[in-house]
Amino acid sequence: MEKTTGHNGGMTRREFVRMTGKASLASAALGFGLSSRLAGAEAAGGDTIKVGLIGCGGRGTGAVKDCVAAAKGVELVAMGDLIEAKVKGCRENLKKELPAEAMKVTDETMFWGFDNYKKVIASGVNYVILTTPPGFRPEHFRAAIEGGVNVFMEKPVAVDPVGYRSVIETGKLAAQKKLAAVAGTQKRHQAHYLEVVKRIHDGAIGDIRAAQAWYNTGGLWHIDKTPEMSDMEWQCRNWLYFTWLSGDHIVEQHVHNLDVMYWILQALPKNVNGMGGRQTRVEPHYGNIYDHFAVEFDYESGVKMASYCRQNPNCANQVCDRIIGTKGEVYLDGALGVISGENPYKYEGENWNPQVREHTDMIESIRKGQPLNDAQRIAESSLMAIAGRMSAYTGRILKWDWVANTSKLDLRPAKFEFGPLPVAPVAIPGKTELV
């Protein structure tokens, strides 16, 4: 007789899998077996996804809810943040939002301080959600994969070329260990993007000649420094505005568009030529990042992709992508996917929440024994944004190969502890050194 799982109301494992995936995937899962980590969980009484959250802010809280909504048999068992009050506040919020059977965090499985991630990873989880500022991502990703845990990580995944290379290496280790590594890029799991990109790849607009991407929005939140906060604590709380933590907004936000461009063009640029500056955000609480960038990405094929991003209040908002081919054009944004020209098309099909779907796809892949691994491509999309920033900061045209393989830029501070940390100067093109 088939044994029941430990956490699914006495369902058999077959019923459990049927409830959590499409029928075809479910039967495949039964045939393929589970990843080694979940195989351990199965032996202990069920293929429960035991989630550890690292970074208990806005997206982390949302991602836990998305993950629990994504499949049956998901429970939150550990939480970590740099700041004690953030972990405790997040736990209280999630207690109200999650079904009781999904909320398994105890006083013993809440961690804070710089080593919180190590404790979460070692707490018996088999799935971590990495939602800290991206400057910490390469280290946290490596620790999770070395610890044998599947990783869902928010974009971007690096802020400098040293971090990029680390993520590439960890992605290879994840593949060897048959662990999932999925990035929260949203669009690659969004219905109208999936359909329109498929049509582009099937030739709907002919050969691609040019592309444009925009992430132009207003300002975001900031936190002023108080006398009680050390430099390090303030920068980590006000992380959007420090390049070592966010990568600047071209990396933190515009990476969404650049990942779409990488997906559509199926190629990485040859040269990157950027410019930018800061005009409306010059006060100290805006740290050392720019407020606008314009970057041209040149491809071996002759295609040029023009990319723009801006965070200036009271200006036009524009967050979308345009691709121009020999037979037509494509327009994509958060709601629309439209093809014009010889093969006109407008997506009017089903839509779903891509932030939930990311977890559904990841959990299905784990249960099927064929874990998704996005690490290389999200590292490369992140590097497109990093290269754009480096070009704009220095005023130099950069070769992709040099940025990817040679640049030694490593923005991490010398030590991770609460204390003094002078703010690095705002970059000045023509003066800022290329490293």
Ligand X SMILES: NC(=O)c1ccc[n+]([C@@H]2O[C@H](COP(=O)([O-])OP(=O)(O)OC[C@H]3O[C@@H](n4cnc5c(N)ncnc54)[C@H](O)[C@@H]3O)[C@@H](O)[C@H]2O)c1
156 or 369, CB closer to ligand X? 156
Q: Using an 8 Å Cβ cutoff, are 73 and 16 in contact? A: yes
**Does 190 help bind ligand X (rule: CB under 6 A)?**
no
Q: Which residues pair with 294 in a beta bridge?
A: 275, 308
**Does 381 help bind ligand X (rule: CB under 6 A)?**
no
Structure tokens at 23: 């029928």
**Does 269 help bind ligand X (rule: CB under 6 A)?**
no
- Find all residues with CB under 8 Å of 369, minimum gap 6, and list them: 29, 32, 33, 34, 35, 178
**Does 287 help bind ligand X (rule: CB under 6 A)?**
no
81 or 364, CB closer to ligand X? 81
Indicate which single residue of 81, 291, 321, 361 sits in contact with ligand X (rule: CB under 6 A).
81
CB of 235 to ligand X, least distance (A): 10
Indicate which single residue of 5, 131, 235, 373 sits in contact with ligand X (rule: CB under 6 A).
131
**Does 86 help bind ligand X (rule: CB under 6 A)?**
yes
114 or 345, CB closer to ligand X? 114
**Does 60 help bind ligand X (rule: CB under 6 A)?**
yes
CB of 132 to ligand X, least distance (A): 4
**Does 134 help bind ligand X (rule: CB under 6 A)?**
yes
Q: Using an 8 Å Cβ cutoff, are 193 and 338 in contact? A: no
Indicate which single residue of 52, 184, 269, 325 sits in contact with ligand X (rule: CB under 6 A).
184
Burial (CB < 10 A; 0-12, 13-18, 19+), residue 415, is exposed
**Does 136 help bind ligand X (rule: CB under 6 A)?**
yes
Q: Using an 8 Å Cβ cutoff, are 14 and 30 in contact? A: yes
62 or 341, CB closer to ligand X? 62
Structure tokens at 141: 């990703």
CB of 136 to ligand X, least distance (A): 4
Size of the site for ligand X (CB under 6 A): 26
Q: Using an 8 Å Cβ cutoff, are 219 and 312 in contact? A: yes
81 or 374, CB closer to ligand X? 81
CB of 399 to ligand X, least distance (A): 27
Q: Which of residues 17-56 bind ligand X (CB under 6 A)?
A: 54-56
Q: Which of residues 142-161 bind ligand X (CB under 6 A)?
A: 154-155
**Does 252 help bind ligand X (rule: CB under 6 A)?**
yes
79 or 295, CB closer to ligand X? 79
253 or 271, CB closer to ligand X? 253
CB of 109 to ligand X, least distance (A): 15
Indicate which single residue of 132, 273, 288, 311 sits in contact with ligand X (rule: CB under 6 A).
132
Note the residues at the interface with ligand X (CB under 6 A).
54-60, 80-83, 86, 114, 116-117, 131-134, 136, 154-155, 184, 186, 236, 252
